[in-house]
Amino acid sequence: MLLLLFLLLSPSVIAEDENGLQCRNTTAHLSREQRTQRTAIQLALDAAVRFRDHFLHAQDAAAAAAASAGSDCAELSESTVQQLDRCLHPSSTRSDLQTWLSAALTNLQTCRTGYAELNVSIPPFLHSLTNVSELIRNSLAAVAARGELGEKKSSGEFPEWTCTDGRALIRALQRDVAEDYVVAKDGTGDFSNISGAVDAAVSNRQNTSRRLLIYVKEGVYEEYVSINAANLTLIGDGIGKTVITGNRSVVGGPGDLTTFNTATVAIQGEFIIARGITFRNTAGPENHQAVALRCQADFAVFYQCSFEGYQDTLYVHSNRQFFRECDVYGTIDFIFGNAAAVLQKCNIYPRRPMGDQRNTVTAQGREDLSENTAFAFQNCKVTAAPDLAPVQRMVKTYLGRPWKKYSRTVVMESCLDSLIAPEGWLEWNENGDAVNTLFYGEYKNTGPGSNTSGRVKWPGYKNLTEHDASMFTVKSLIDGGSWLPATGVPFD
C-alpha cells in the first residue's frame, strides 16, 4: 500500500498524467513535498468527482425506502467535490486544508450513516466511498506532516471574503445599517417567510459580492429553511422573539428521515452570521433524533441565539464555527457533529429526558487522527433546564460521549452545576474502544460539578495544563484571530 501511494504521488507519475504539463507549470514554485501533497488532493478530488457523477446516475435504482439517505448522499457528494476543489487554491493555509479535508471526510461518513439509520443496505455503487475516503485520509496525513500548500497568510490578515470592513459589520449587528431584506409575519416586510428572503439573497449574489443582511422581525416562523450561500447575515429581534420552528424527527417523520434531514434550519456555504434568533425543533424526546440547526458552513458565527430541542439539537456538522452568548437545550448528544467549534459564554441546558434515558451534552465525531476538529467550551455554564431541575438527582447527566474513535472535547474555565455526574463522561457503548483514543479534557472549571477526583480513568481523559488548554482557544482551534474581528462579534 505504501509503495502504491509512493508511486501514485511521485513526480514521474505527475509528468505522465494527461494534465501533467499544466500541473508542473502551475506548481513549479512549490517544493517537492508540496507538489506531493497537491497531487494527493488532486487524486482525491478526481475520485470524488467520479463518485458524485456515478452516484447521481445510479441512485434512481435505489430502493424507495432509502430515498432520504440517497438525497443526503447526493448533496454531500457535491459538497465533497467543492471542499476538495477549494483545497487546491494556492493561498490555502494548513488550517484551511485540514478543515476542508476533514469536512470532505465527514460528508462521506454522513452518507454512510444515513443508510445505517434507515436500516437499509448500502447500494453496491456506494462501495467506492471507501476508496474516496482513503484518498482523503492520505491527503490529510500529507497536510499534517508537511503544512501549507502555498503561501501562508500573514498573521491577522483577513480572508478575501471581507468585502465589508469590520465597522460596517458591527453596525449591521447593532441594526445601524439598512437591511437588504425584511421578513415579517404581518406582511409589513419584503417577505412573510424566511425562505423567500434567503432565495432572493442567493439570486442577488450574482449582482453583488458584498455581505447581504436579512432582518427577521419578531414572530414564530413555522418553516424549514435551507441556506447555501456566502456573506449572509440574519438578524432577529432576540432569543424567544424571532423563532424558527419545526418538528421533523427520525421517528415521527414525515416518512423515513435520516438525522441529517430532520433539521429545522440547515446552513451550508461560508461566512454566515446569525444573531438574535431561536432555532427550535419541537419533536420531543420520544421521537429521538430531531435537529434544530444543522450547520456545515465554514466561518460560521452565531451570536446571542438559542437552539432548542431534545436529542441531537445542534448539529455542528463540519468546518469552523463559533458560538457566543448562546443557549443550547437538549437531552441526548444534543451538541454533536465533527466541526471545529468553539462555544464561549454559552448556557448549556440539559432537559428532562424519557424515564430510562441519560443526558449527554456532546457527541463529537472526529474519526481520523489528522483531522483538526474538536468541540471547545470556554466560560460556559452547564445547568439544568427548568423541566430537569426538580428531578435532576434522578437523571444522570454527562459532559459527553465519543461518537467516533478520535472524539475530542474540551471544557475549560466553565461553571458546571451539580447535575454533572462525578464520572463526567460516558462510554458510547459497552465495547468502549474509543476510551483509549479519544481526547477529553477539563481545565479550571468551577461549580459543584467540576470536581475531577471522581472522573473516568480512561487513557484519553486529561486534566489539562495551561499549554494544553491553549490549543483549544478561538485562536488555535478555529484560527479565529484571522477572521472573527471583521464580524464584529466579541470573542476571547
> pLDDT tens, 335-380?
999 999 999 999 999 999 998 899 999 999 999 999 999 999 999 9
pLDDT for position 120: 82
3-state secondary structure of 67: helix
Question: Taking a C-beta distance cutoff of 8 angstroms, is the pair 215, 182 a contact?
Answer: yes
pLDDT for position 169: 57
DSSP 3-state helix, strand, coil percentages of the chain (rounded to 5)? 35, 25, 40
Query: Cα–Cα distance between 106 and 100 in angstroms, integer?
Result: 10
Place of cell 444573531: 275
Query: Cα–Cα distance between 359 and 106 in angstroms, integer?
Result: 25
* Grid cell of 317 as nine digits: 456538522
pLDDT for position 376: 99
Most confident of 68-77, 130-139, 234-243: 234-243
Instruction: Kindly tell me if the per-residue pLDDT of 9 is higher than 50.
Output: no
Least confident interval from 73-87, 148-162, 214-228, 403-417: 148-162
Q: pLDDT tens digits for 272-315? A: 999 999 999 999 999 999 999 999 999 999 999 999 999 999 99
CA–chain centroid gap for 239, Å, is 22
Q: Which residues contact 55 (CB under 8 A, 6 or more apart)?
A: 73, 74, 77, 125, 126
Instruction: Kindly tell me if the per-residue pLDDT of 17 is higher than 50.
Output: no
Mean pLDDT of 64-80: 84
Q: pLDDT tens digits for 167-220? A: 555 556 655 566 899 999 999 999 999 999 999 999 988 788 899 999 999 999
3-state secondary structure of 266: strand
Run of H or E including 415? strand 415-416
Q: Which one, of 70, 77, 53, lies nearest residue 115 by Cα?
A: 70
More confident residue, 53 or 258: 258
* Residue 100 φ then ψ, to 5°: -70, -35
Half-sphere exposure of 348 (CA within 13 A, CB side): 32
Most confident of 55-59, 71-75, 152-156, 172-176: 71-75
Instruction: Kindly tell me if the per-residue pLDDT of 18 is higher than 50.
Output: no
CA–chain centroid gap for 222, Å, is 24
Question: Taking a C-beta distance cutoff of 8 angstroms, is the pair 90, 301 a contact?
Answer: no
pLDDT for position 67: 78
Question: Taking a C-beta distance cutoff of 8 angstroms, is the pair 92, 137 a contact?
Answer: no
Q: Is 454 exposed, middle or buried (0-12, 13-18, 19+ CB in 10 A)?
A: exposed
pLDDT for position 148: 56
Query: Cα–Cα distance between 316 and 103 in angstroms, integer?
Result: 11
Q: pLDDT tens digits for 252-280? A: 878 889 999 999 999 999 999 999 999 99
298 is catalytic: no
Of 327, 333, 368, 479, catalytic: 333
Q: Which residues contact 176 (CB under 8 A, 6 or more apart)?
A: none
* Grid cell of 369 as nine digits: 487522527
pLDDT for position 322: 99
Most confident of 78-92, 147-161, 338-352: 338-352
User: How would residue 121 be classed by pLDDT, with cut points 50, 70 and 90?
Assistant: confident
Q: pLDDT tens digits for 372-402? A: 999 999 999 999 999 999 999 999 999 999 9
Hey, what's the torsion of the CAs at 317, 323, 328, 330, to 10 degrees? Answer: 20
Mean pLDDT of 23-48: 71
Query: Cα–Cα distance between 374 and 318 in angstroms, integer?
Result: 10
